Each structure stands twice: as structure tokens, then as C-alpha cells.
């Protein structure tokens, strides 16, 4: 019997580095439909529907403004509308956090479907990348509307040419989010403790990232610790592009990209290893 005619081989061990991108392409329609499902199903039986996408970052920005600027008197770079300042960071942070949070539950949430039918599991986190990017773009659009309003009420806009890097920023932060999420979701198949850790861990992470503050406002010693936060340079870059506020160190960007690649590769290996038989332990 000649070997090559088999096109699927099922064996106990598989190469964990094997990505099978061809197979993922085969299932690109599934990714599309997952994205569509996320949008259609989430707002069923809600009054405001997709407007929640817009209201949420706006309200968060207002809250941050009240708490940190009005109550705690944290300084805001002059010339920038505080609403714009906070909102720019909130929407990019939301994007990252949502990639992470959703990916962190992949195995537990999809156990019933993963337990019955095979498809490349990677399609699920991949779909989060897209669906979050779509809701991000709504928010970004809304951001520009708000920015326009503040412009007419006297603030200047400082949109930088680096805004052209937006897709790169999204891509890197999204990969970081889903990679971290995938690793966590693989671990939650064995240890449920982590599910409790994730939501408040993400919150802590926000305070460790330049969302409420800028890297610029930190003292130089603390600033160098920011190197270890791979999200920081891209959040900073994003806000800089929109508001002109921020400090972007190219070395930090390099380190961040390196960390992202390592994170992504480990996530893929762990994810591949887990998806094979997590259904037995879950």
C-alpha cells in the first residue's frame, strides 16, 4: 500500500510547531462566520445593541477623567482635551484586553463543541482578532467624532503621521492579547483557578500599562521597567499618533516585538499540545 495517498494521519504525538496554515485557510469561512456570530448574537435582546460598543469607552473615559483628573488632580498634558486623552488609551486598551479575555476562555467555553467536531481550533482566537478589530474601528470612528466636537470647542488636534502605523499597532497588540489568552486558556483546562485570576489580572495589567498615565510622566528609573511591558510602547505609540502626547522609544518597540514573537510561538505550541486531548481532562 503506497503511503502518500493518505491525507489525514492520526497519531498520539504531533509536531507542536506544525501550524497547518493551509488548513486554517481552508476554514477561513468559519472564521468569518465566527466573527459574524460574535456581532449578531452579542446584542440580541439588548435595547441599545451595537451602541454599547461606543458608549462603553466613552463612559470609561469620563469616569477616568472624573476620578484621576478632577478628584486625584493627576496632570494632563496641556492643550489636549482630557476626554480625548483618556479615550484614546481606553479604546486601544479595550482592544487588547478583549483579545486576552476572550481567548482566555476558549477551551472552557467551547468544550462542548470542541468535544464533538474537529476544526482547526486556532480559528477561534483568530476570529477574536477580527471581531475585536471591527469593534475597535467603530470606537475609533466614534473617537474621531468626539475629537471633532472638542476641536470645535477650542482644543487643538495633534494627529501624527505615525497614525499610518495603526494596523501594525493593532496587529501586535492583538497578537499579544490572544497569545497570552491562549496560554491561559490552555492552563485553565487543568487549573480552573486561573479563570478567576484573569479578569482582575487584566485590570492590574492596565495599571501597569500607560493607560491612565503616560510613560513620559514617569521618573526615568521607573520608565526603564516599562521595557518589560510589551504592551506599553504600542499603547504609547497609539496615543501619540492620535494626541501627540507620548514618548516612543524605538528600543522599547524592538523589545516588545521580540517578546511578542516569543509569546506567540509559545502560545502556539501550548495551544497545539492542549487542543489534542484537553477534552479528556476538562
Partner 1 sequence: MADTAILISDIKKKYNLGSINSGTFFEGLKNSFIRKTKDIPVNPVDSNDIYWALKGVSLEVNEGEVLGVIGRNGAGKSTLLKILSRVTAPTAGSIHIKGRIASLLEVGTGFHPDLTGRDNVFLNGAILGMKRAEIARKFDEIVEFSGIGKYIDTPVKRYSSGMYVRLAFAVAAHLEPEILIIDEVLAVGDADFQKKCIGKMKDVSEGGRTVIFVSHNMSAINSLCDRTAYLKDGKLEMLGPTEHVVKKYLSSFTSFNYKISAGEHTIGDEYVRLISARLIKRDGSDAEIITVSDSFGLEIKYEILKEGYKPGPNFLLSTQDGEKVFQSLDTKIANMYSPGVYDSVAWIPANSLNNIGYKMTVCVTTHNPTKIHVSANIDFELYDDTDAPTRGDYKGQMHGYTRPLLNWETRKNN
Q: Which residues bind partner 1 (CB under 8 A)?
A: 1, 5-14, 26-27, 29-30, 32-34, 36-37, 40-41, 44-45, 112-119, 190-194, 276-277, 279-281
Nearest distance in Å: CB 180, partner 1: 17
Give the other-Cβ count within 10 Å of 150's Cβ.
17
Give the C-alpha distances (Å, rounded to integers) separating 148 from 69, 151, 156, 202, 237: 22, 5, 10, 31, 21
Round to whole Å and give the CA distance between 86 and 242: 11
Which element (helix H / strand E) includes 94? helix 82-103
> Which CB sits closer to partner 1, 114 or 142?
114
Nearer to partner 1, 6 or 152 (CB): 6
- Report the C-alpha gap between 66 and 69 in whole angstroms: 6
Tell me the closest approach of the beta carbon of residue 16 to partner 1, in angstroms: 12
Nearest to 146 by CA among 235, 69, 70, 55: 55
Q: Tell me the closest approach of the beta carbon of residue 28 to partner 1, in angstroms.
A: 9
- Return the number of the residue (158 or 276) whose C-beta is nearest partner 1: 276
Cα gap 174→123, rounded to integer Å: 14
Query: CA torsion, points 56, 61, 63, 65, in degrees to nearest 10?
Result: -170
Min separation Cβ 194 and partner 1, Å = 7
Q: How far is the CB of 4 from partner 1 (least distance, A)?
A: 10
Show the cell assigned to 253. Answer: 518597540
Q: Smallest gap, in angstroms, from Cβ of residue 114 to partner 1?
A: 7
Nearer to partner 1, 43 or 68 (CB): 43
Nearest-5° Cα angle at 29, 23 to 33: 130
Q: Are 64 and 159 in contact (CB under 8 A)?
A: no
Asked whether 245 and 80 are in contact (CB, 8 A), the reply is: yes
Smallest distance, partner 1 to C-beta of residue 197, A: 9
* Grid coordinates given for 187: 492552563
Q: Which is nearer to partner 1, 236 or 275 (CB)?
A: 275
Angle at 188 between CA 187 and CA 190, to 5 degrees: 75
CB of 99 within 8 A of CB of 136? Answer: no
In terms of Cα–Cα distance, which of 32, 24, 56, 58 is closest to 43? 56
Q: Which is nearer to partner 1, 39 or 141 (CB)?
A: 39
Nearer to partner 1, 191 or 228 (CB): 191
Kindly tell me which of 70 and 192 has the beta carbon lying closer to partner 1. Answer: 192
Least distance to partner 1, CB of residue 117, Å: 5
Amino acid at each position: 500500500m503506497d503511503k502518500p495517498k493518505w491525507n489525514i494521519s492520526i497519531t498520539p504525538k504531533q509536531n507542536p510547531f506544525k501550524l497547518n496554515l493551509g488548513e486554517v485557510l481552508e476554514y477561513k469561512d468559519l472564521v468569518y462566520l465566527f466573527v459574524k456570530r460574535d456581532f449578531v448574537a452579542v446584542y440580541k435582546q439588548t435595547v441599545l445593541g451595537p451602541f454599547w460598543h461606543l458608549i462603553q469607552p466613552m463612559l470609561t473615559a469620563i469616569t477616568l477623567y472624573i476620578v484621576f483628573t478632577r478628584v486625584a488632580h493627576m496632570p494632563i498634558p496641556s492643550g489636549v482635551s482630557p476626554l480625548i486623552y483618556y479615550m484614546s488609551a481606553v479604546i486601544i486598551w479595550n482592544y487588547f484586553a478583549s483579545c486576552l479575555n476572550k481567548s482566555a476562555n476558549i477551551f472552557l467555553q467551547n468544550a462542548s463543541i470542541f468535544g464533538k467536531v474537529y476544526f482547526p481550533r486556532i480559528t477561534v482566537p483568530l476570529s477574536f482578532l477580527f471581531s475585536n478589530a471591527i469593534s475597535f474601528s467603530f470606537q475609533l470612528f466614534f473617537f474621531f467624532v468626539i475629537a471633532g466636537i472638542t476641536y470645535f470647542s477650542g482644543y487643538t488636534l495633534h494627529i501624527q503621521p505615525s497614525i499610518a502605523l495603526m494596523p501594525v499597532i493593532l496587529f501586535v497588540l492583538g497578537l499579544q492579547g490572544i497569545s497570552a489568552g491562549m496560554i491561559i486558556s490552555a492552563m485553565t483546562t487543568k487549573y480552573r483557578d486561573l479563570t478567576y485570576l484573569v479578569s482582575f489580572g487584566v485590570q492590574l495589567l492596565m495599571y501597569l500599562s500607560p493607560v491612565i498615565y503616560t510613560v513620559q510622566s514617569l521618573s526615568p528609573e521607573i520608565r526603564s521597567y516599562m521595557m518589560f511591558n510589551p504592551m506599553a510602547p504600542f499603547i504609547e505609540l497609539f496615543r501619540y499618533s492620535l494626541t501627540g502626547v507620548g514618548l516612543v522609544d524605538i528600543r522599547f518597540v524592538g523589545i516588545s516585538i521580540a517578546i511578542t514573537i516569543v509569546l506567540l510561538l509559545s502560545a502556539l505550541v501550548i495551544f497545539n499540545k492542549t487542543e489534542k486531548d484537553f477534552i479528556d481532562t476538562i
